[in-house]
């Protein structure tokens, strides 16, 4: 190799070297018991995270991240996208208020516009997404912040087809109108396609045909060969990422770079959910970090040797997230600041000292489950939830009316517990959940008493 060529390589490294893996963590804030930003930044540093992503531009967090050398990703909230798309001044004001005061002491490197927009029902925002990104980019240029890359994280449901990976194709309703302009913007600005990809959700949708070890990235468990390309897959994550690569290739952008905006595995969940436990969460996240920090980078079967920067979801278990119990249990850290399990996001730790608890819910729970009121919750809110459950018809609350078999004891907690169980038993299959804004919990202990029989679900 000539001296001149060596100098050229040093000055202009190949594209795969432009970005290091540097796995990071998603710092969600949907909890009423989380540590202060200053303490959280200490925890992030103890995890050896190279990056952190927040879901807004919280000034206290950005202040706490000053002079840490941690790369930071901030986000324009979904509800501001339409206004910014229509008004350049709105974009300028957002950048002036949320980025300029902190940069460059806070190492803001990515500005994400919205979160999983194509998974939301508001399709007006779908079509304003890329126009808003263009305005934000224009504002960054105006304030001489051109090093900050603009993107938007999408969920894997942006795909219409994903199996086999070679069939990867974007959803027909948004392919031409949203995703092609998005890919064009990414290509022109040398940014990334940010994707939220969870093998956990793919596995629980088909746990019979997808082996758990394959979803956990365990070696030598299972493999799959794409019948069209002959590419061999040894884990579910690579399979899902290549489906996205094929979709981008089909859309005319085969060289677009991927950035894993979210991936992870729940450390807990409800009784009617499987696989969410500390053991699986630790195994998955450790395997992902090991996989993404390999040197030289392994890439995927379709895109070998490509660096895949990433964020693990999430820093904390967040008790105010809605939905199934797993949604509140994706953290690496408990809200009190203690580790749920040992983790090193730099990938330099190959063995961990503490043993992991054996999983107990990798198979579906067999038995009855009830839904009851949580202890210590706000009584006014509980009364409102009781009224909601009883207002859904089908005789949901007849037994707790005066004279009914479950009227006594005549207490708000007792009546709400019966109403929640009755509602859930009737409406679970049509989307009803045992959550009620955090006022309800599942139990496998039968709350029935005497002649009062609480409805349950049977798994």
Sign of the alpha-carbon torsion through 244, 245, 250, 253: positive
Q: Choosing from 18, 79, 116, 358, which is the catalytic residue?
A: 116
Is the preceding peptide bond at 104 cis, omega within 30 degrees of 0?
Answer: yes
What is the layout of strands, in order, in the sheet containing 368-373?
440-443, 368-373, 457-458
Kindly report, residue by residue over 284-324, the tens digit of the pLDDT.
999 999 999 999 999 999 999 999 999 999 999 999 999 89
Kindly report, residue by residue over 372-421, the tens digit of the pLDDT.
999 999 999 999 999 999 998 788 899 999 999 999 999 999 999 999 99
Write out the E strands in 278-428.
Answer: 310-312, 368-373
Is 372 within 8 Å of 417 (Cβ atoms)?
A: yes
DSSP-assigned letter for residue 179: I
Tell if the pTM clears 0.85, that is, is over it: yes
342 is catalytic: no
- Residues 152, 113: Cα–Cα separation, whole Å: 5
To 10 degrees, the CA torsion angle through 322, 325, 328, 330? -130
Q: CA 210: distance to chain centroid? A: 21
Residue 417, H or E segment: helix 412-427
- Residues 51, 121: Cα–Cα separation, whole Å: 30
CA neighbor of 423 nearest in space, from 415, 413, 410, 433: 433
Find tokens 């009121």 and name the residue: 373
Write out the E strands in 37-89.
Answer: 51-54, 71-76
Is 165 within 8 Å of 226 (Cβ atoms)?
A: yes
DSSP-assigned states of every residue in 163-176: SSGGG-EE-HHHII
**pLDDT on residue 2:** 43
**pLDDT on residue 431:** 87
Residues 50-71: b if buried by 16+ CB within 10 A, e if exposed: bbbbbbebbeebbebbeebebb
- Residues 190, 255: Cα–Cα separation, whole Å: 11
DSSP-assigned letter for residue 358: P
Per-residue pLDDT of the chain (459 residues; tens, 9 = 90+): 444 434 333 333 344 346 889 999 999 999 999 999 999 999 999 999 999 999 999 999 999 999 999 999 999 999 999 999 999 999 999 999 999 999 999 999 999 999 999 999 988 999 999 999 999 999 999 999 999 999 999 999 999 999 999 999 999 999 999 999 999 999 999 999 999 999 999 999 999 999 999 999 999 999 999 999 999 999 999 999 999 999 999 999 999 999 999 999 999 999 999 999 999 999 999 999 999 999 999 999 999 999 999 999 999 999 999 989 999 999 999 999 999 999 999 999 989 999 999 999 999 999 999 999 999 999 999 999 999 999 987 888 999 999 999 999 999 999 999 999 999 999 999 888 999 999 999 999 999 999 999 999 998
How buried is residue 320: exposed, middle or buried, by Cβ count under 10 Å (0-12/13-18/19+)?
middle
| Sequence-separated (6 or more) residues with CB below 8 Å from residue 187 | 253, 255, 256
**pLDDT on residue 18:** 64
* Residues β-bridged to residue 258: 193
318 is catalytic: no
CA distances from 136 to 80, 81, 90, 365, 396 (A): 12, 10, 9, 48, 50
Look up residue 317 and give its two tokens. Answer: 């278990």
- Residues 458, 30: Cα–Cα separation, whole Å: 31
| Sequence-separated (6 or more) residues with CB below 8 Å from residue 85 | 128, 129, 131, 132, 135
Is 261 within 8 Å of 432 (Cβ atoms)?
A: no
How buried is residue 409: exposed, middle or buried, by Cβ count under 10 Å (0-12/13-18/19+)?
exposed
Q: Choosing from 42, 160, 262, 342, which is the catalytic residue?
A: 262
Domains of the chain: 14-328 (3.20.20.80), 368-458 (1.20.58.1040)
Look up residue 16 and give its two tokens. Answer: 């795969």
């Amino acid at each position: 190799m000539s001296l001149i060529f060596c100098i050229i390589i040093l000055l202009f490294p190949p594209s795969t070297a432009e970005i290091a893996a540097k796995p990071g963590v998603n710092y969600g804030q949907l909890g009423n018991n989380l540590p202060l930003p200053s303490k959280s930044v200490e925890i992030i540093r103890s995890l050896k995270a190279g990056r952190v992503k927040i879901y807004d531009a919280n000034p206290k967090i950005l202040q706490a991240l000053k002079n840490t050398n941690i790369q930071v990703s901030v986000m324009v909230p979904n509800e501001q996208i339409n206004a910014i798309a229509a008004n350049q001044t709105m974009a300028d004001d957002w950048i002036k208020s949320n980025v300029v005061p902190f940069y460059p002491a806070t190492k803001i490197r990515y500005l994400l516009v919205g979160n999983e927009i194509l998974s939301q029902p508001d399709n007006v925002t779908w079509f304003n997404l890329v126009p808003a990104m263009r305005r934000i980019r224009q504002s960054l240029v105006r304030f001489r912040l051109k090093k900050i890359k603009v993107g938007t994280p999408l969920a894997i449901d942006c795909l219409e087809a994903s199996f086999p990976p070679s069939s990867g194709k974007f959803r027909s309703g948004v392919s031409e109108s949203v995703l092609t302009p998005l890919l064009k913007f990414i290509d022109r600005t040398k940014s990334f396609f940010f994707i939220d990809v969870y093998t956990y959700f793919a596995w629980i949708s088909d746990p019979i045909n997808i082996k758990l070890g394959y979803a956990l990235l365990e070696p030598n468990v299972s493999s799959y060969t794409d019948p069209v390309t002959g590419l061999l897959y040894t884990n579910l994550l690579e399979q899902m990422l290549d489906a996205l690569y094929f979709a981008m290739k089909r859309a005319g952008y085969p060289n677009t770079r991927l950035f894993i905006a979210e991936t992870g595995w729940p450390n807990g969940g409800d009784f009617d959910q499987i696989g969410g436990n500390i053991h699986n969460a630790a195994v998955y996240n450790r395997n992902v970090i090991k996989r993404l920090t390999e040197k030289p980078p392994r890439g995927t079967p379709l895109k070998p040797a490509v660096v895949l920067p990433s964020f693990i979801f999430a820093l904390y278990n967040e008790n105010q997230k809605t939905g199934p119990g797993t949604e509140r249990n994706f953290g690496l850290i408990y809200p009190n600041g203690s580790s749920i399990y040992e983790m090193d996001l730099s990938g330099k730790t190959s063995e961990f000292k503490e043993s992991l608890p054996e999983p107990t819910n990798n198979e579906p729970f067999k038995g009855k489950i009830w839904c009851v009121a949580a202890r210590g919750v706000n009584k006014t809110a509980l009364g409102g939830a009781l009224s909601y459950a009883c207002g859904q018809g089908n005789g949901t609350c007849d037994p707790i009316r005066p004279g009914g078999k479950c009227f006594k004891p005549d207490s708000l907690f007792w009546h709400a517990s019966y109403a929640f169980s009755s509602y859930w038993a009737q409406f679970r299959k049509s989307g009803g959940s045992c959550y009620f804004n955090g006022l309800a919990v599942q139990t496998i202990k039968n709350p029935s008493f005497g002649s009062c029989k609480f409805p349950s679900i049977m798994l």
